[in-house]
Homo-oligomer: A and B are copies of this chain.
Amino acid sequence: MAYDARRETILETAASLFASQGYERTTIRDVARAAGISVAGLYYYVRGKDELLYRICERSFTMVLDSLTEKLAATSEPRGRVRVVIRNHFEHFLRHMNEMKVLTRELDALEGAQAAQIYALRHRYYTICRNVVSEVAVASVPPRLATMALFGMLNWIHMWYRPEADGNADTLADGMTRIFLDGYASSAETRAPWTRPTAASR
């Protein structure tokens, strides 16, 4: 297997172990065994367990940021941009649920420059999302509260999501976009959740 492909497999294996049993409880030996390589072989790819955690976070934030930036560049309508944020998050993290658990639970274990770099990436992601959210604000709710409410809606799915009961990224994105933009109790049924309301549909 090529170096990059092997390293990806190692990161995915480590994310799976960190997600299921926690970063603290997982040893570098556990990761090597689960990835089917020797401990010495594993050290060819990473310097230690902390680098595994760092690489998992760095890769996940970079991927979700890259795809978001690309999609936002192609969408100018404010409500549509909110839907892009929501859908992009689900598209990425439904396929990377282990990484989502690691990102929401284990960042505290990072230290020094690694922690600083990951928090900078997270802040970049937060800032982009907050700016998109601010564009649609009508409610007198602080953008910080609204953005954090949205992140809560999005990231909590690792606690409950079951594909067979809850549908795919599109189904989730439709429901969450609808609630976030128009509310669960408002009667805006006739329009799609990511379009601007017209006089006729109010």
A interface with B by C-beta (< 8 Å): 22, 24-25, 78-79, 82, 104-105, 133, 136-142, 144-146, 148-157, 159-160, 165-166, 172, 174-176, 178-189
Q: Is the interface of A mostly helix, strand, loop or mixed?
A: helix
Q: CA–CA, A144 to B154, complex, Å?
A: 14
Q: Are B139 and A186 in contact (CB under 8 A)?
A: yes
Q: Are A138 and B185 in contact (CB under 8 A)?
A: yes
Contacts of A157 in B (CB 8 A): 148, 152
Q: CA–CA, A172 to B152, complex, Å?
A: 13
How many copies of this protein are present in the complex?
Answer: 2
Q: Are B183 and A141 in contact (CB under 8 A)?
A: no
8 smallest beta-carbon distances between A and B, as pairs: A152-B156, A183-B183, A182-B183, A136-B185, A152-B152, A141-B175, A181-B185, A152-B153
